[in-house]
Amino acid sequence: MAENNKITKKEDLILFLSDTDEREGLLGKKNRKLLSDPLTDNNPITVQVLGICSALAITVKLEPAIVMSLAVMAVMAFSNMIISLLRNLIPSRIRIIVQLVVVAALVILVDQILKAYAYDVSKQLSVFVGLIITNCIVMGRLEAFALGNGVYKSFLDGIGNAAGYAFILILVAFFREFLGFGKLLGYQIIPQSWYDAGYSNNGLMLLSPMALITVGLIIWVQRSRSRSLIEQN
Amino acid sequence: MDRNSNAYTFLFVILLIAVVASTLALTATSLQPAQAENVKNEKMQNILGTVGIEVVRDSAQIPFEKYIVQRIALDNKGNERTEVNAFDVDLKKELKKPVAEQSFPLYVANVEGSKYYIVPLRGKGLWDAIWGYVALKDDVNTIKGAVFDHKGETPGLGAEITQMWFKKAFDDEKILDSSGEFVGVSVAKGYQGGDNKDDNAVDAISGATITGDGVTDMISERLVNYLPYFKNKTNVKVASN
């Protein structure tokens, strides 16, 4: 769960120590930071290296990646809010269990509602909805943020981190579907004339290792752009 | 109360579980009818899909009753089991029974004068169950159409069995070989047959070998149990000629 929380810990500590009742606009500077940081220098996938498992599993095509992102966003926003509401009541010895119960209950709710009212979407996501429970980002944010911050801030943090996750997921899915199938969202993008001229889809892109390599390339690009992310030793 | 005491911890857990369990139980029971309706309509939609009738899921009931003229439950000797309602047979449960005790549902469709036999399939893919329906023409050899679905195959790979291009390959394939022996239709890796409809094989999906093998197996394992019934049917026809 905590492959790399050097950066998160320091930031969270500052947020934890700062007065949470501090008067600030709904989307004041600090709150905006909660939303924007996970998209860039504190991205849950490329910087904290959390949630890699689902980034591999559902990025073969763009559409499931988008739906999965939305489901994760809903679960993260609500679980962060619930845990933040309960943060002063949860006995610290069993907090991980409580977090798991809350996340699992939310995921089952999402699954049941999708099955009843959005049957096609639920079929498309199939087992991956259930796997949101095991997504390290959800538990990671509950533990690192929601337990020590107010409800609204936790909500923003949930949305922000889910957006950071979604951004990478969709980016990886874009390259995998484009290079692997020549399609985007199921529509043919690469024209037939290319195939006739000898181009062929890269089947390797469909296999999980290429998701890992794509994520690696994204990390490379990100680190060469913002040098502060590179570890000193 | 001391938040670190055992009593508090137990109290907290009991309350939490009570709230979570009752919420989930309530949602599950209240959504159950809507979910069951979806599953039932989808089953009708899939069955109709094999004989080339595309309907919207929510309005599958009326065309289903119009085109599906007979629903029969069979045993593996080809006898009808009148006491079993074919539509309610759950293959997931049936597959766990010994073959002799299983019921094999069969739907007979009549579309503009042509008769089709629709056989439900169920087997194993890579991750979880796969299932489908295959419609046979009146000669009980040529496939009219097939529909496949899955629970958890990999999107883009095994999950492609639900796609039109994969299903289309089964149209007009034969389940008997040239000498009349039952072989089914195999999903063949490195298929070179092109559009050949007499080789009992279709092209596989790259990267989805295990799901493809699952499709091959479920077609042969399920259809073989209907052969006695089909044999009777064709014999009757020969005699009446």
Query: DSSP states of chain B as a string?
Result: --TTSHHHHHHHHHHHHHHHHHHHHHHHHHHHHHHHHHHHHHHHHHHHHHTT----GGG-HHHHHHHEEEEEEE-TTS-B-TTS-GGG--HHHHTTS-GGG--EEEEEEEETTEEEEEEEEEEE-SSSEEEEEEEE-TTSSBEEEEEEEESSPPTTTGGGGGSHHHHHTTTT-BSB-TTS-B---EEETT---TT-SSSSEEEPPTT-HHHHHHHHHHHHHHHGGGHHHHHHHHHHHHHH-
Lowest-confidence segment of A32-41, A177-186, A207-216 by average pLDDT: A32-41
CA atoms of B20 and A177, how far apart (whole Å): 39
Q: What is the extent of the structural domain holding B83?
A: 45-233
Q: List residues in chain B touching A: CB distance below 8 A.
A: 3-4, 8-9, 12-13, 16-17, 20, 23-24, 27-28, 31, 34-35, 38, 42, 57, 127-128, 149-152, 154-157, 206-207
Query: What are the tens digits of pLDDT across the range A48-89?
Result: 777 777 777 778 888 888 888 888 898 999 999 999 998 888
Percent of chain B with pLDDT over 70: 96
Q: How many domains does chain B have?
A: 1
pLDDT score for A192: 85
Q: How many CB atoms lie within 10 A of CB A45?
A: 25
The mean of the pLDDT values for chain B is 86
Asked if residue B24 is part of any domain, the answer here is no
Give DSSP secondary structure letters for A56-105. Answer: HHT-SSHHHHHHHHHHHHHHHHHHHHHHHHTTTTS-GGGHHHHHHHHHHH
CA atoms of A104 and A133, how far apart (whole Å): 6
**A128 pLDDT more than 80:** no
Using the beta-carbon criterion (under 8 Å), do A61 and B156 form an inter-chain contact?
Answer: yes
Asked if residue B31 is part of any domain, the answer here is no
Q: Residue B29 — very low, low, confident or very high, per pLDDT cuts 50/70/90? A: very high
Asked if residue B10 is part of any domain, the answer here is no
Strand bridging mode B143-150 / B129-136: antiparallel
Query: What are the tens digits of pLDDT across the range B87-141?
Result: 888 888 888 888 888 889 999 998 888 889 999 999 999 988 999 999 999 888 8
Q: What distance in Å separates residue B222's CA from the closest CA in chain A?
A: 24
Asked if residue B240 is part of any domain, the answer here is no
pLDDT score for A12: 54
Taken in order A222, A226, A231, A233, is the CA torsion positive or negative? positive
**A181 pLDDT more than 90:** no
Asked if residue B184 is part of any domain, the answer here is yes
CB hemisphere CA count around B223 (13 angstroms): 27
pLDDT score for A200: 81
- B182, β-bridge pairs: B176
Q: Which of A61, A92, A98 sits opposite B155 (nearest CB)?
A: A61
Percent of chain A with pLDDT over 90: 11
Lowest-confidence segment of A121-130, B9-18, B191-200 by average pLDDT: A121-130
Q: What distance in Å separates residue B115's CA from the closest CA in chain A?
A: 31
Instruction: Report the b/e string of A27-44 with b at 16+ CB within 10 A.
Output: eeeebeebbebbbebbbb
User: Is this complex scored with an ipTM above 0.85?
Assistant: no
Give DSSP secondary structure letters for chain A. Answer: --S--HHHHHHHHHHHHS-TT----TT-HHHHHHHHGGGTTT-TTTTT--SHHHHHHT-SSHHHHHHHHHHHHHHHHHHHHHHHHTTTTS-GGGHHHHHHHHHHHHHHHHHHHHHHH-HHHHHHHTHHHHGGGG-HHHHHHHHHTGGGS-HHHHHHHHHHHHHHHHHHHHHHHHHHHHHHHSEETTEE-S-HHHHHTT----GGGGSHHHHHHHHHHHHHHHHHH-GGGS---
Average pLDDT on A226-233 reads 74
CA atoms of B17 and A97, how far apart (whole Å): 11
| Angle (CA) B147 A71 B23, round 5° | 100
Q: Which residue of A has its CA nearest to B22?
A: A105
Contacts of B157 in chain A (CB under 8 A): 60, 206
Asked if residue B25 is part of any domain, the answer here is no
pLDDT score for A194: 83
Q: Which residue of A has its CA nearest to B163?
A: A186
Average pLDDT on A97-109 reads 90
CA atoms of A163 and A170, how far apart (whole Å): 10
Using the beta-carbon criterion (under 8 Å), do A203 and B206 form an inter-chain contact?
Answer: yes
Lowest-confidence segment of A143-152, A195-204, B126-135, B208-217 by average pLDDT: A195-204
Q: Which residue of A has its CA nearest to B162?
A: A124
Q: Which of A60, A101, A115 sits opposite B156 (nearest CB)?
A: A60
Contacts of B151 in chain A (CB under 8 A): 126-127
Strand bridging mode B201-203 / B186-188: parallel
pLDDT score for A2: 44
Using the beta-carbon criterion (under 8 Å), do B27 and A206 form an inter-chain contact?
Answer: no
Percent of chain A with pLDDT over 70: 87
Q: Which residue of B has its CA nearest to A89?
A: B3
Using the beta-carbon criterion (under 8 Å), do B207 and A113 form an inter-chain contact?
Answer: no
The mean of the pLDDT values for chain A is 81
Q: Which of A60, A91, A108 sits opposite B24 (nearest CB)?
A: A108
pLDDT score for A16: 46
Query: What are the tens digits of pLDDT across the range B72-85?
Result: 888 888 888 888 88
